[in-house]
């Protein structure tokens, strides 16, 4: 016993010393200062794509860094020529669209871009054997042909005014994919495009490494490499941003604002077209009464939702066309705060009288409905609870219910639902399917079966007519009718927040869609970024 003591002590001492040595060895900086590091940008996002093939939905709205579409979008989301020498022309009947390709564009492997590649790309999307959800957006395309190596002709089933907006889709090289099963092609992981960067490596779940395309037709990028780190968890992304690993990272508003006081960082709150609102189904006996819907529209306090739930990083929403769009109708904008008096007066006039329990009733039917929200989405849950509290103040009882989508789907015809949609590009894109009576009750398209002849005609006119002024008038009619009928209770537009190192130069935020990952994020123009 006594003899053992020194041995034991020695053991402990040795173990501790070894441990400390190991720690010290690891703490020594092993990464040498690399001068080229100044020419590398590292960005972090949670939004990793499943594939890097535009045919399978990678970067379909352009700015995919690896690919180019026939057209691209500038900082104001206006269309500019991409692979096309100038914006494609539309025939008088609106059914033939012709694009002439830019000269001398090369793919990353050195192959020349021809019209066959463009036609192949669109034909692949339209092929039912290809697992592309983009097909739903291109159902107006009857055929795509390449009459000569520099010309692409789209033949449409019906005139579709915003068709050029659909030409941002990245073009893939036909010879690398022709005759292959596109769903399973090697290309999806190691793509070859025409864009400002080519893919050096992609480790799914970890990072995507891009290198500058020396022969990019738009000019060689101002930097050499871009690394996109995929970090799923928000807190982890914030910590690694704090550790200095990233030049830019997408972060939830509450985590992003934590960086604001620090001079080494800059926070960007980018406006989006991504709205959240409550779909009010006509199949619900209480919500079928327009007085209830209008009263709810007056009763919700959008300013409080933006300030409280979104931490100030949002804007009140009054309709499906974002205020940043040239098609936005200013007259539909209401008060951002709640107007309880007006809501109560409206309900009184419509015969909804307060009962003993504070809930209004009409002909014995209490003003009560269920509001569903996807349980995993905390933002929608918070908004649903806010709507519930606001409605209670005017005597309407809302029962919020968090469910999974499969439980929500069969109930959308009769129960209200917190949904989100929106696109910054053209009002036709989402709204046509969401509010046209033709799509009433079809899955997530118009699930509340809203029917209005005025809206149907306006949406159709916006799609049929090429004249911008007439389109604008049609969408003004549409927005006004929607504001009168209130089939949706629009609540807020979100903002995407990003944290950047202050030294990053050349950042130019533009209005974003819901989807933002590798493509179409704050780094849409990263090929022009430099460091001060």
Partner 1 sequence: MTTRTAPARRRTGRLAGAAAVVRRRLLVAVPVLVATSVGMFALGAASPVDPAKQYAGAAAFTTSEENLAQIRANWGVDDPLPVQYLRWVGNLLRGDLGWSTSRHEPVTSVLAARAGWTLLLIGVTLAVVLLASLLLGALAAYRRGGLFDRALRAAAYAVESMPVFWIGLAAIAVFALALGWFPAGGLTDVTATGTSWPDVAHHLILPVAVLAVSQAPWFLLFVRDAVAESLRDDHVLAARARGLPGRTVLFGHALRTALLPFLTLVGTHLPELVGGAVLVETVFSLPGLGAVTVEAALGSDFPLLAAITLVTTAVVLAANLAADLAYAAADPRVRLDG
Closer to partner 1 at the Cβ: 225 or 393?
225
Question: Per-residue x/- mask for partner 1, residues 398 to 437, rule CB under 8 A?
Answer: ------xxxx-----------x-x-------xx--x----
Minimum distance of partner 1 from residue 7's CB (angstroms): 5
Instruction: Choose one: 32-40, 157-165, 212-220, 482-490; the region binding partner 1 (CB under 8 A).
Output: 32-40
Minimum distance of partner 1 from residue 59's CB (angstroms): 13
Residues 246-265 that bind partner 1 (CB under 8 A): 246
Closer to partner 1 at the Cβ: 56 or 296?
56
Minimum distance of partner 1 from residue 292's CB (angstroms): 26
Exposed (0-12), middle (13-18) or buried (19+): which is 152, by Cβ within 10 Å? buried
Instruction: Choose one: 69-77, 200-208, 214-222, 449-457; the region binding partner 1 (CB under 8 A).
Output: 200-208
The beta strands (E) that lie in 179-324 are given as: 197-203, 207-212, 225-230, 248-251, 265-279, 314-316
Residues 42-101 that bind partner 1 (CB under 8 A): 42, 50-51, 56-57
Name the nearest CA neighbour of 526 among 247, 260, 165. 247
* Number of residues this chain uses to bind partner 1 (CB under 8 A): 70
How far is the first Cα of the chain from the last one, in angstroms, to the nearest whole number? 68
User: String of b and e for 300-321 (b: at least 16 CB within 10 Å)?
Assistant: bbbebbbeebbbebbbbbbbbb
* Phi, psi torsion values for 519, nearest 5 degrees: -90, 155
Residue 457: strand, helix, or coil:
helix
What tokens appear for 7 in the block?
Answer: 């041995």
Apex 255 CA angle, 252 and 256, nearest 5: 80
Closer to partner 1 at the Cβ: 11 or 112?
11
Q: d(Cα 292, Cα 486) in Å, to the nearest integer? A: 10
Cβ neighbours, 10 Å, residue 407: 13
Closer to partner 1 at the Cβ: 22 or 112?
22
Answer for which of 217, 362, 444, 456 binds partner 1 (CB under 8 A) is: 444
Minimum distance of partner 1 from residue 138's CB (angstroms): 10
**Are residues 194 and 107 in contact, defined by beta-carbon separation less than 8 angstroms?**
yes
Cα 358 from chain centroid?
40
Q: d(Cα 337, Cα 341) in Å, to the nearest integer? A: 12
> Can you give the length of the chain in residues?
532
Site for partner 1 contains 245 (CB under 8 A): yes
Answer for which of 85, 95, 137, 155 binds partner 1 (CB under 8 A) is: 137
Question: Per-residue x/- mask for partner 1, residues 218 to 237, rule CB under 8 A?
Answer: -------x-x-xxxxx-xx-
**Are residues 511 and 272 in contact, defined by beta-carbon separation less than 8 angstroms?**
yes
What tokens appear for 160 in the block?
Answer: 């579709």
Site for partner 1 contains 32 (CB under 8 A): no
Answer for which of 12, 17, 75, 288 binds partner 1 (CB under 8 A) is: 12
Residues 148-187 that bind partner 1 (CB under 8 A): 183-184
Instruction: Choose one: 385-393, 440-448, 453-461, 498-506; the region binding partner 1 (CB under 8 A).
Output: 440-448
Site for partner 1 contains 442 (CB under 8 A): yes
The residue behind tokens 């309900």 is: 347
The sign of the torsion formed by the CA atoms of 210, 213, 218, 224 equals: positive
Closer to partner 1 at the Cβ: 89 or 235?
235
Q: d(Cα 489, Cα 69) in Å, to the nearest integer? A: 36
Answer for which of 188, 223, 325, 497 binds partner 1 (CB under 8 A) is: 188
Minimum distance of partner 1 from residue 60's CB (angstroms): 9
Minimum distance of partner 1 from residue 184's CB (angstroms): 7
Beta bridge partners of 40: 225
Residue 226: strand, helix, or coil:
strand
Answer for which of 190, 242, 266, 531 binds partner 1 (CB under 8 A) is: 242
Site for partner 1 contains 240 (CB under 8 A): yes
CA distance to 12, 226, 385, per residue, from 231 (Å): 40, 16, 30
Task: Return residues touching partner 1 (CB under 8 A).
Answer: 1, 3-5, 7-8, 11-12, 15, 23, 26-27, 30-31, 34, 37, 40, 42, 50-51, 56-57, 128-129, 131, 133-137, 139, 183-184, 188-189, 203-207, 225, 227, 229-233, 235-236, 239-240, 242-243, 245-246, 404-407, 419, 421, 429-430, 433, 442-445, 514-515
């Amino acid at each position: 016993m006594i003899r053992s003591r020194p041995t034991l002590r020695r053991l402990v001492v040795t173990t501790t010393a070894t441990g400390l040595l190991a720690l010290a060895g690891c703490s020594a900086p092993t990464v040498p200062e690399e001068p080229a590091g100044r020419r590398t940008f590292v960005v972090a996002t949670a939004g990793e794509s499943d594939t890097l093939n535009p045919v399978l939905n990678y970067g379909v709205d352009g700015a995919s860094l690896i690919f180019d579409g026939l057209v691209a979008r500038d900082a104001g989301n206006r269309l500019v020529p991409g692979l096309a020498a100038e914006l494609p022309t539309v025939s008088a009947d609106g059914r033939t669209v012709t694009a002439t390709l830019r000269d001398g564009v090369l793919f990353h492997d050195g192959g020349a871009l021809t019209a066959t590649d463009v036609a192949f790309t669109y034909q692949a999307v339209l092929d039912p054997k290809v697992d592309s959800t983009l097909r739903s957006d291109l159902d107006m395309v009857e055929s795509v042909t390449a009459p000569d190596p520099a010309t692409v002709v789209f033949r449409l089933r019906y005139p579709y005014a915003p068709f050029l907006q659909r030409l941002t889709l990245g073009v893939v090289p036909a010879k690398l994919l022709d005759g292959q099963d596109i769903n399973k092609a090697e290309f999806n992981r190691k793509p070859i495009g025409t864009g400002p960067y080519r893919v050096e490596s992609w480790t799914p779940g970890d990072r995507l490494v891009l290198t500058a395309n020396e022969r990019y037709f738009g000019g060689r990028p101002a930097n050499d490499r871009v690394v996109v780190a995929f970090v799923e968890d928000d807190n982890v992304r914030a910590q690694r941003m704090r550790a200095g690993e990233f030049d830019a990272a997408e972060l939830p508003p509450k985590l992003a604002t934590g960086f604001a006081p620090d001079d080494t960082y800059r926070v960007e709150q980018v406006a989006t077209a991504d709205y959240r609102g409550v779909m009010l189904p006509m199949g619900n006996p209480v919500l079928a009464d327009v007085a209830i819907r209008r009263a709810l529209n007056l009763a919700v306090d959008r300013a409080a939702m933006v300030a409280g739930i979104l931490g100030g990083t949002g804007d009140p929403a009054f309709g499906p066309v974002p205020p940043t769009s040239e098609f936005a109708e200013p007259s539909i904008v209401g008060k951002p705060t709640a107007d309880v008096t007006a809501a109560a007066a409206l309900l009184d006039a419509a015969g909804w009288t307060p009962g003993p329990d504070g809930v209004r009733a009409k002909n014995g039917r209490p003003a009560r409905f269920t509001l569903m929200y996807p349980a995993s989405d905390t933002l929608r849950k918070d908004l649903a609870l806010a709507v519930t509290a606001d409605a209670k103040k005017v005597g309407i009882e809302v029962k919020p219910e968090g469910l999974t989508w499969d439980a929500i789907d069969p109930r959308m015809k009769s129960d209200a639902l917190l949904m989100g949609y929106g696109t910054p590009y053209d009002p036709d894109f989402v709204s046509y399917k969401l509010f046209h009576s033709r799509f009433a009750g079809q899955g997530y398209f118009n699930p509340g079966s809203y029917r209005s002849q005025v809206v149907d005609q306006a949406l159709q006119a916006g799609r049929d007519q090429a004249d911008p002024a007439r389109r604008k008038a049609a969408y003004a009619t549409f927005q006004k009718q929607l504001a009168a009928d209130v089939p949706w209770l629009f609540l807020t537009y979100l903002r995407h927040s990003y944290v950047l190192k202050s030294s990053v130069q050349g950042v130019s935020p533009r209005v974003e869609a819901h989807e933002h990952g590798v493509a179409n994020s704050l780094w849409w123009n990263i090929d022009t970024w430099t460091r001060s």
